[in-house]
Amino acid sequence: MSETPSPFLPGTNVQYAWDSTSLGWYKECPRKYQYSMIQGYRTRDESVHLKFGIIYHSALEVYDHWRAEGQDFVASQRAAVRYVLEQTWDVETGKPWAPDHASKSRETLVRSVIWYLEHFKLDPAKTVILANGKPAVELSFKLDSGIPSPNGEDYLLCGHIDRIVEFSGDQFVMDRKTSGSSLTPTFYRQFEPHNQMSLYTLASQVIFNSPTKGVIIDAVRVAVGFSEYGRGPTYRTETQLVEWLHDTKGWLLDAERSAVEGYWRMNDTSCTKYGGCPFQKICSKSPEVREIFLESDFVRNPWNPLQVR
């Protein structure tokens, strides 16, 4: 397999390939972006959430693929469960993945996948079949933004679409979300407006040349003793997408300036938002000791928007 290219222009901290995660970090706080994207720091908890989320997504993609290729429910579910169990097994130590987390464990992951497939056994959302005959699942995309980067080429907007579906006669991106909180109307309201949902609607329209209406949030709440499921649509109009792209240009140029200056300013009004920034305890310390605390309290796990899943 070929190595994933760096999302940064050679020899610089100018990021030319952006996904909704890294753009979200920058919008929230340039300093958070510095710690997360430029330096690649993660909390240990965050690493658990990330691994849990990636395997959950991938297992359901395995199921979608099997189904789209004509396999029946039982065989497809079996393939998805086998995938989870193998991905959470450390071949070197011969032991299962055992994260130190109350609700995110190997067992709750297997349970969440099995219960999801049982819950949506008769799924009213049907996977779209692309012009090449393949099912529209696990689609990694790279989109020219039309915004020039310092090397003269356009900044890339990237991402990974779980699934494109037809639902009630309309086309939607379907995005799976794992949550620790209840799936109330408040949960779904957070996606309107929302960086990722606007980007994914835009990408679906441009790359797949399809009249996508928006995104269906396909959510699971993972609790210690149960997993519950819910779905909610979020719509985007053409003018909303144009506005989002216009704003994105401003953010990318701002990020470019920060990279050139080598300084990512702190947005001290974001620290307690979004459930609380994991770097708040770092930013609350004097600048000269922050790196010491970063090294001791966080792990390095670089994020690369160009990584194809």
Partner 1 sequence: MADTSSLNELFERDPFKYSEQDIDTIIARFRDARAQFNLASNPGRLTGPKAKAAPDKTVADLLSELGM
Residue pair 91/59 in contact by the 8 Å Cβ criterion = no
| Nearest distance, CB of residue 224 and partner 1, angstroms | 10
CB nearer partner 1, residue 75 or residue 308: 75
Per the document, the length of the chain is: 309
Helix (H, G, I), strand (E, B) or coil at 37: helix
| Nearest distance, CB of residue 301 and partner 1, angstroms | 24
Distance CA 307, CA 6 (A): 9
Distance CA 207, CA 199 (A): 12
Indicate the DSSP class of residue 35.
I
| Nearest distance, CB of residue 227 and partner 1, angstroms | 9
| Nearest distance, CB of residue 204 and partner 1, angstroms | 32
CB nearer partner 1, residue 115 or residue 293: 115
- Other Cβ atoms closer than 10 A to 309: 11
CB nearer partner 1, residue 114 or residue 266: 114
Q: Is the peptide bond before 193 cis (omega within 30 degrees of 0)?
A: yes
What are the residues facing 142 on neighbouring strands?
158
Indicate the DSSP class of residue 235.
E
- Other Cβ atoms closer than 10 A to 107: 10
| Nearest distance, CB of residue 82 and partner 1, angstroms | 6
| Nearest distance, CB of residue 106 and partner 1, angstroms | 7
CB nearer partner 1, residue 31 or residue 67: 67
Distance CA 143, CA 291 (A): 35
The contact set with partner 1 (CB under 8 A) reads: 77-78, 81-82, 85-86, 89, 91, 94, 96, 106-107, 110-111, 114-115, 118, 225-226
The secondary structure of 135-170 as a DSSP string is: BSEEEEEEEEEEEE-TTSSEEEEEEEEEEEEEETTE
In 3D space, the residue among 228, 122, 138 whose CA is nearest the CA of residue 174 turns out to be 138
Run of H or E residues at 176: strand 170-179
Q: Is the peptide bond before 10 cis (omega within 30 degrees of 0)?
A: no
CB nearer partner 1, residue 21 or residue 103: 103
| Nearest distance, CB of residue 69 and partner 1, angstroms | 18
User: Angle at CA 101, nearest 5°, toward 95 and 106?
Assistant: 40
CB nearer partner 1, residue 21 or residue 178: 178
CB nearer partner 1, residue 109 or residue 217: 109
CB nearer partner 1, residue 115 or residue 188: 115
| Nearest distance, CB of residue 14 and partner 1, angstroms | 43
